[in-house]
Structure 1
Amino acid sequence: MMLRTVAFALILLFMTFDGAAAQGAQMPVSQCQAIASAIPKVTFASFKPFETAQLSSAREEVKITFVGHSTYQIESPEGVVIATDYNGAYRPPVMPDVVTMNKAHSTHFTLAPDLGIEHVLHGWSEVPGDKIEHRVMVGDSYVRNVTTDIRSYGGFEENGNSIFIFEIAGLCIGHLGHLHHELTESHYTEIGRLDILMVPTDGGLTMGADSMSRVVQRLRSSLILPMHRGGSSLDRFLSMFDGRYDIATARDRVLTVSMRSLPRKPTILVPQGL
């Protein structure tokens, strides 16, 4: 009887450990989210200069290309290709491994993506109002989302938009999608640190320039990449920023960036083609 009890206990222990391990494997730990509540117990990493020197620049670099409208192509050091707000019309030069979408307008999604795309991540749930949650590890790239509300039929649809966050080579890259309202404290906590921010600058289809600029300034990103609309709308957005920000136009179509190359002063970099 005692042997049977011990055996049963061991089985339960194995099942609990196995389940916890599986859950841990499915939910990678974000390096960009705020962890203030864990600070008393946290162990801070220590990077030795010699170890850092061993990293080749190629392993640290992320390539970002503006494709059109709200679509950016992000390529990781291991060659994982991601396309944001993919709609099938603005196609990256190569077949992406991951595409993210938002449903505000048909220019931000497609229900018939190329069958060769392995990971198609919708920023909305099929059940209106429900949250969609993505925590996906593809090669060296971790993709997650934070939902926001969206305007719909004269009102608001809960959780109809997603801010997608791409954690690659130590960088935290955020794409605001079709953001329709200023973010709450809860949103900022979920988002965490963003080194690079892709922000719609249409001045009204998403949010006005003043509201959008407040979101940008609160996120404190090092590099801000406009999208969605250029011209006078972009000019209005840029006018919201004072001397604390540098404003420049990209000289190259492909932006190569790493933790080491981030600008010391926050910079708004207008991509070619916007």
Structure 2
Amino acid sequence: MVLVRWFGHACFEIVTSDGLSLVIDPHDGRSIGIKPPQTHADIVLITHDHFDHNAYSVVAKPEAEVIHMFVGEREVRGVRIRGVEAYHDTVKGKRRGRVVLYRIEVEGLSFVHLGDLGHVPEEEQASKLKPIDVLFIPVGGTFTIDASDAWKTIDVLTPRVVIPMHYWIPGLNLPLRPVDDFISKAPSTWRVERIDRNYIELKREALPD
């Protein structure tokens, strides 16, 4: 069983059954008006070098492996990681630069984190990310894809489970749209489940088809 914990914005922690902690896109909390992540990571992934995604020192253990905008494939402590280059905007990065989309394989589950993706992925990018069990996708717009493009992205990537991120929550001082904009556009083929806590436990065999 794998534990997934959300620390607000785009920061997620994946914890394996033996306690290995992998954190993606940590923020420092204070800079964006919310609580900082409270954990100690063995592996930290950074999708791009913006202040609300690259505060690795907040979560990294002294001996942690910090992987910064890595494109390619590698294995770290039994976790398979693939980084795929993409863009923070719709003009090939000319406005906001590039981002790295990460595919993470651990304990038979595949996770994909889209960072601050600013466009619907091209087929070549999508093919490097599939198949996807769990997709972390930005939905709040302004700096990333918005709710409509998020659903277009989901159609391209065909994940089994979608976890939205990078949307407005109370206290956040960034001009993002709330998650309800995204949920309201959900196709009838998707079942929406709201969870009143910041974590979920996952087993591959228990995921929807």
Range into which the TM-score falls when normalised by the shorter chain: 0.7 to 0.9
More displaced, 182-191 or 151-160?
Answer: 151-160
**Alpha-carbon distance between aligned partners in 1 of 2:39 and 2:186, rounded to the nearest angstrom:** 35
- Who is 2:102 aligned against? 164
Give yes or no for contact 1:80–1:141 (8 Å, CA) kept in 2: no
Work out whether 1:65 is the aligned partner of 2:36: no
Q: Which residue is 1:120 aligned to?
A: 66
29, 32, 39: which one aligns with 1:94: 39
What is the aligned counterpart of 2:201 among 256, 259, 271? 256
Q: Which runs of 5+ in 1 are unaligned?
A: 1-60, 124-131, 265-274
Q: Is residue 201–residue 230 contact of structure 1 (8 Å, CA) maintained in 2?
A: no
Q: Which is greater in Rg?
A: 1
Counterpart secondary structure, 1:119: strand
CA RMSD of aligned residues (A): 2.7
Equivalent in the alignment of 2:19: 79
1:180 deviates by 0.7
Which digits, 9 at most, give the CA deviation of each residue in 1:18-74, with x for residues without a partner?
xxxxxxxxxxxxxxxxxxxxxxxxxxxxxxxxxxxxxxxxxxx11001111110110
Give me the whole-angstrom Cα distance separating, in 2, the residues matched to 1:134 and 1:205. 25
Q: Structure 1 residues 242 and 203 mapped into 2: Cα distance closer, same or farther (>3 Å)?
A: same
The unaligned stretches of length 5 or more in structure 2 are 30-34, 170-176
Matched, 1:175 2:113: yes
Q: Report the alpha carbon displacement of residue 252 of structure 1 after superposing the two structures with TM.
A: 4.0
Q: 1:153 to 1:263 in 2, by over 3 A?
A: closer
Point out the structure with the larger strand share.
2
Amino acid at match of 2:181: R
More moved, 102-111 vs 79-88: 102-111
Q: How many residues are aligned here?
A: 196
Structure 1 residue 155 displacement after superposition: 6.0
Paired with 2:55 and 2:91, the residues of 1 have a C-alpha distance of 20
Match of residue 155, structure 2, among 217, 236, 249: 217
Aligned partners of 2:201, 2:127: CA distance in 1, in Å? Answer: 28
Aligned-residue identity in percent: 21
Q: What do the CA deviations read for 1:147-193 (whole angstroms, capped 9, x no partner)?
A: 10234999627972011111011111000000011111110111121
Q: Normalised by the size of structure 2, how large is the TM-score?
A: 0.82
8 Å Cα contact 1:96/1:117 also seen in 2: no
